[in-house]
Structure 1
Amino acid sequence: MKPYPFLYFLFSALLPIFLSAQPKYEADVIVYGGTSAAITAAVQVKKMGKSVIIVSPDTHLGGLSSGGLGFTDTGNKEVIGGLSREFYHRLYEHYQQDNSWVWQKKAEYGNKGQGTPAIDGSNRTMWIFEPHAAEKVFEDFVKEYSLTVHRNEWLDRSAKGISKKGGKIRSFRTLSGKQYSGKMFIDATYEGDLMALAGVSYHVGREANSVYNEKWNGVQTEVFQHGHHFKAKISPYKIENDPSSGLLPEVSAEPAGAYGSGDKRIQAYCFRMCLSNHPDNRIPFPKPVGYDPARYELYARVFASGWRETYDKFDPIPNRKTDTNNHGPFSTDYIGKNYDYPEASYERRKAIIKDHELYQKGLMYFLQNDPRVPADVRDKMQQWGLPKDEFTDNGNWPHQLYIREARRMIGEFVMTEADALGKTKVPNPVGMGSYALDSHNTQRYVKADGYVQNEGDIGVHPDRPYSIAYGSILPKVKECQNLLVPICVSSSHIAYGSIRMEPVFMILGQSAATAAVLSIDNKISPQKLPYEKLREVLLKDQQVLERQ
């Protein structure tokens, strides 16, 4: 007799035992993510007396706040309160210590980044900082509040990765086989993977202006509100002005689309590079694997046109370092190479991240070594390199790609352009924003006249700081009744351009946690939580909810 029926019987008998042996964890609140919002959410849960587990796909905590974005996009600092402001206060305290100044004297740096007094007039803040200093603050939060953090735990995004009953998440699994059960869940990732797996509605890309009666959403051809466009007529072809020669690298052959129309394009990603010009703390940029100087021919033509803004976003942070961001028509933004990232598999996302890394490392090598780069630019660039004392377990390269935008929930309330410009009064505020409607370029295309241009770069300032509605962090009640989403919030593309700042993510993380705990205490869903109960606690914890 063949053994197969016996083996099948044995497997069937042992499977329940195997599954029951998988590690299981339970807490009042499960926070998925390792971002700044995840940490503030977990701290708030513990402060309110409930148990919490952070399930982080990342090893390093803090997301972009500890991943290179040290020159904080704040807007009006007076509307940043609660644990978000506490984070920046702790950075101020860090830089009051003499031993924090290794490569530069404190007096030499001066008061850059010190900001304004805290709301109560006692604590001060530091808005500009080094990556390792920010990570230390997050790790200090973990220690002080005895937070349970499970690192390198990736959500199983298959159908078997989540258990849901009666409109509520019961548990989710990670790829390692661990199971996490809770009363409330918070998706504090940049991608919104738990939100999506839970069956919550979301959008990827730009809505047409007609969807929410907006002006700055959708395709924005011939709109130039920063300096990130081609100011001179530059040919996109391998042989200048010869279409038959084919397009240069980094130029799309796709049409831009009709002005104001929606599409699936998202604003460009990049790494916020931390660089050093201290000779004893500087690592020269090596030639990256697969480096092809032809990839940067378009940049060479920008220089040949007379453009000289290379260093306009080498923003100084302490200890002779920078937070280097995208600037100009051809820079660190890897335009058009991230469209599939939000919903891609982990393997595909990893490849996209690596492609961004090689593009940027190649760009830096090009600027330091290529004879097509003007000598003055090349000479100055050779003074910069990766700092030896940052990202020491990742080849001194940032561990977090700047995911400026991925999925955006379609929740109980959708924040739109008018809301983010301060023109409306939103219901039930849980925090405030004030930064410009800021979208980076989404595509680089060939215009009808045969020259190259970028599209999608928007920077429109609000009339005043604006409130962010509680409903924007809540899924529709029919879709999920125990999940809050403080990063992939319910908003249009262009409104998200302002909301998507790290201080705001921390604010919303704290507010989401507050709502989660109050919902547990009152034995109701967050959607049915009386707003006055939530408002009372938020104000007590020094959150700023509306303009006075």
Structure 2
Amino acid sequence: MNCQYLKHLVLAVLFLAKLPSYAYAETGLTHQADIVVYGGTSAAIIAAVQASRSGKSVIVVSPDKHLGGLSSSGLGFTDTGNKSVIGGIAREFYHRVYLHYQNREAWKWQQKEEYGNKGQGTPAIDGADRTMWIFEPHVAESIMEDFVSENNLQVFRGEWLDRKKGVEMRESVISGIRTLSGKYFKGKMFIDATYEGDLMAAAGVSYHIGREASSVYQETWNGVQPLVFQHNHHFTTNISPYRVSGDKNSGLLPGVSEEPLAMKGSGDRKLQAYCYRMCLTDKPEHRKAFARPDHYDRMNYEILARLFQSGWSELFDKYDPIPNRKTDTNNHGPFSTDFIGMNYEYPEASYEERKKIIKAHEDYQKGLMYFMANDIKVPELYRTAMQKWGLAKDEFVDNENWPYQIYVREARRMISDYVLTEHEVLGKKSVPKPIGMGSYALDSHNTQRYITAEGYVQNEGDIGVTAPKPYSISYDAIVPKAKECSNLLVPVCLSSSHIAYGSIRMEPVFMILAESAATAAALAIDHNIGVQKVSYSELKALLLEQKQRLALKE
């Protein structure tokens, strides 16, 4: 090879290596739209639909192959709260669920008349409003795909944000984002619709992880809450936390923390537990038996064995029925599908580290089901009953019938100039600039499993305080501080305290806030202003036209 040519080649490579990140925008991998939505959740798709209906070009950059987030991944027994405050495209989604199940062909494994009409605090099928709040995972995903096709949405799947250097900013404005595949997405406005808040964090927006001390916002239910048990997810009998019952020298059983419990109301970095919302069936010809998972260790479930031995009998209390003799199976009781204490690192973890955390959750939960169906320490009555259940064969068909999405109940939460707290949720404080409503209880799953002073195992973090009436959510809670970013909206990891987020973190609310975020983004583009300067009166008028429910007086 010619030496002079080699010299020029080396110089060219060195030059390209020193180019700033925005140089990637000059390659053939660049895509551009008015609004770029990052995420594959239900909120992401609803935001994109509204952006399109507002006359804006929109791109969805989705890390996920399957769209719809938890709504398409097992959470079919919808946490509605007060359904009357669910409006806009969110209500359209539940109307489409209703229309689907009006067809006899939709009832393959069960007659419609056999299903019943049980919902969470509301009828599953509301004929008067033509809505349905309970559904199978594949039905939700199909509706999301219909939204995509009907609105000609451009969706890039399997595209993961380069969280280290993939956000190009000029002062407080995001110019574009780059994914790990090398694709570059330019936009005027950006919406972070992920459960993790990855785009928000990569853009340098302030956020919090874990529980604030109750003193930060003068809240009652934030921070560590020793001996507060509001969902019956605690131990009512004395269960030893040691490998050999009663022997401290034998070591702790898996999942039990050796840390002493902190003072009431103190803050920490701990998160309410994650799990998978399994779709199970007891239809013999349609179920897949629980198999022994990877890395199975029966000692992971010794506490449950001792719990059964103590007389606990609530095993099947959260096998909530969804159509076609299936369930949305959720955590219930002191030892269940929640993998308590094993998600603390998840929000900040790298993608590879997150995969390991997710895999550990999957192995734990699959192992739990296998244990209950097969282990001789499980009373025969429960073992026999568990053997009648299995994974539904027609759900998550390309993932061995296991849900696509782990239930990230809480990760990062933005810190903006306005932080929504329990005071708004409990009706003790008015809300400025309402863009949607919530109504669910302050709801936190357990965050840790510890040893009591008496030497027994106990859980902490389980909170369930009813909101006295529906409450409004402020526009200011979904926009960052202006000095940090002026063209980003965050409808999922919004600005709220830990305990307030326990009420907000419901799929219908995420859809509502996403629609409002997209409407605001369109207005910001029309007026060439930052999201913080959007006229609320103009935004409110549009939201009311879209049949969003903003406040009780609306």
Q: TM-score range by the shorter chain?
A: over 0.9
Query: Using the alignment, how far apart are the partners of 1:246 and 1:158 within structure 2?
Result: 40
Give the corresponding residue for 2:501: 496
SS of aligned partner of 2:215: helix
Q: Alignment partner for residue 513 of structure 2, among 505, 508, 516?
A: 508
Give the corresponding residue for 1:107: 113
Shift of 1:19: 6.9
Give the conservation status (yes or no) of the 8 Å contact 2:271–2:344: yes
Q: Alignment partner for residue 152 of structure 1, among 154, 158, 166?
A: 158
Asked if 1:314 corresponds to 2:319, the answer is: yes
Give the conservation status (yes or no) of the 8 Å contact 2:124–2:134: no
Give the corresponding residue for 2:475: 470
Give the corresponding residue for 1:129: 135
SS of aligned partner of 1:291: coil
SS of aligned partner of 2:407: coil
Give the corresponding residue for 2:212: 207
Give the corresponding residue for 1:95: 101
| 1:204-262 C-alpha deviation (Å, 9 max, x unpaired) | 00000000000100001100001100010111011111111111111111122111100
Q: Alignment partner for residue 44 of structure 2, among 38, 57, 63?
A: 38
Query: Using the alignment, how far apart are the partners of 2:88 and 2:373 within structure 1?
Result: 43
Segment of structure 1 superposing worse, 235-244 or 78-87: 235-244
Query: Using the alignment, how far apart are the partners of 1:20 and 1:44 within structure 2?
Result: 29
SS of aligned partner of 2:317: coil
Query: Using the alignment, how far apart are the partners of 1:221 and 1:122 within structure 2?
Result: 44
Query: Using the alignment, how far apart are the partners of 1:48 and 1:424 within structure 2?
Result: 33
Give the conservation status (yes or no) of the 8 Å contact 1:423–1:463: no
Query: Using the alignment, how far apart are the partners of 1:102 and 1:243 within structure 2?
Result: 54
Asked if 1:21 corresponds to 2:17, the answer is: no
Identity of matched residues, %:
64
Give the conservation status (yes or no) of the 8 Å contact 1:116–1:124: no
User: 1:381 is matched by which residue type in structure 2?
Assistant: M
Q: Alignment partner for residue 367 of structure 1, among 372, 377, 380?
A: 372
Give the corresponding residue for 1:442: 447
Asked if 1:285 corresponds to 2:287, the answer is: no
Query: Using the alignment, how far apart are the partners of 1:535 and 1:92 within structure 2?
Result: 28
Query: Using the alignment, how far apart are the partners of 1:226 and 1:374 within structure 2?
Result: 25
Give the corresponding residue for 1:340: 345
Asked if 1:243 corresponds to 2:245, the answer is: no
Segment of structure 1 superposing worse, 451-460 or 518-527: 518-527
C-alpha RMSD of matched pairs (Å): 1.6
Give the corresponding residue for 1:9: 11
Query: Using the alignment, how far apart are the partners of 2:264 and 2:361 within structure 1?
Result: 28
Give the conservation status (yes or no) of the 8 Å contact 1:254–1:445: yes
Query: Using the alignment, how far apart are the partners of 1:156 and 1:106 within structure 2?
Result: 47
Query: Using the alignment, how far apart are the partners of 1:510 and 1:524 within structure 2?
Result: 19
Q: Alignment partner for residue 185 of structure 1, among 184, 190, 195?
A: 190
SS of aligned partner of 1:209: coil
Give the corresponding residue for 2:418: 413
Give the corresponding residue for 1:162: 167
Q: 1:243 to 1:522 in 2, by over 3 A?
A: same
User: 2:10 is matched by which residue type in structure 1?
Assistant: Y
Shift of 1:134: 0.4
Query: Using the alignment, how far apart are the partners of 2:421 and 2:90 within structure 1?
Result: 24
SS of aligned partner of 2:70: helix
Give the conservation status (yes or no) of the 8 Å contact 1:236–1:247: yes
Using the size of structure 2 for normalisation, the TM-score is 0.96
Asked if 1:544 corresponds to 2:546, the answer is: no
Shift of 1:116: 8.4
Shift of 1:186: 0.1
Query: Using the alignment, how far apart are the partners of 1:257 and 1:3 within structure 2?
Result: 67
Give the conservation status (yes or no) of the 8 Å contact 1:77–1:116: no
User: 1:124 is matched by which residue type in structure 2?
Assistant: R
Query: Using the alignment, how far apart are the partners of 1:213 and 1:22 within structure 2?
Result: 52
Shift of 1:117: 9.1
| 1:492-516 C-alpha deviation (Å, 9 max, x unpaired) | 0000000000000000000000000
Q: 1:51 to 1:237 in 2, by over 3 A?
A: same
Query: Using the alignment, how far apart are the partners of 1:496 and 1:106 within structure 2?
Result: 36
Structure 1 unmatched runs, 5+: none
Query: Using the alignment, how far apart are the partners of 1:406 and 1:40 within structure 2?
Result: 21
Shift of 1:162: 1.2
| 1:153-201 C-alpha deviation (Å, 9 max, x unpaired) | 0000113x11111311000100000000000000000000000011100
| 1:286-317 C-alpha deviation (Å, 9 max, x unpaired) | 11122111211000000011000000000000
Using the size of structure 1 for normalisation, the TM-score is 0.97
Asked if 1:194 corresponds to 2:199, the answer is: yes
SS of aligned partner of 1:432: strand
Shift of 1:10: 3.5
Shift of 1:2: 10
Segment of structure 1 superposing worse, 6-15 or 332-341: 6-15
Query: Using the alignment, how far apart are the partners of 2:525 and 2:195 within structure 1?
Result: 25
Give the conservation status (yes or no) of the 8 Å contact 1:438–1:458: yes
Give the conservation status (yes or no) of the 8 Å contact 1:256–1:443: no
Q: 1:148 to 1:122 in 2, by over 3 A?
A: farther
Give the conservation status (yes or no) of the 8 Å contact 1:441–1:457: yes
Query: Using the alignment, how far apart are the partners of 1:116 and 1:230 within structure 2?
Result: 32
Give the conservation status (yes or no) of the 8 Å contact 1:236–1:452: yes
Q: Alignment partner for residue 85 of structure 2, among 79, 89, 99?
A: 79
Q: How many residues align?
A: 545
| 1:355-393 C-alpha deviation (Å, 9 max, x unpaired) | 000000000000000111111111110000011100000
User: 2:159 is matched by which residue type in structure 1?
Assistant: E
User: 1:20 is matched by which residue type in structure 2?
Assistant: E
Give the conservation status (yes or no) of the 8 Å contact 1:115–1:124: no
SS of aligned partner of 2:81: coil
Shift of 1:483: 0.2
Shift of 1:123: 4.4
Q: Alignment partner for residue 531 of structure 1, among 526, 536, 549?
A: 536
| 1:82-140 C-alpha deviation (Å, 9 max, x unpaired) | 0011100100000001110010011111334484898xx97411111100000001000
Q: Alignment partner for residue 297 of structure 1, among 291, 294, 302?
A: 302
SS of aligned partner of 1:164: strand
SS of aligned partner of 2:279: strand
Segment of structure 1 superposing worse, 3-12 or 138-147: 3-12
Query: Using the alignment, how far apart are the partners of 1:41 and 1:289 within structure 2?
Result: 38
Give the conservation status (yes or no) of the 8 Å contact 1:191–1:488: yes
Shift of 1:12: 3.6
Query: Using the alignment, how far apart are the partners of 2:309 and 2:118 within structure 1?
Result: 35
User: 2:470 is matched by which residue type in structure 1?
Assistant: P
Give the corresponding residue for 1:65: 71
Segment of structure 1 superposing worse, 414-423 or 481-490: 414-423
Query: Using the alignment, how far apart are the partners of 1:44 and 1:18 within structure 2?
Result: 29
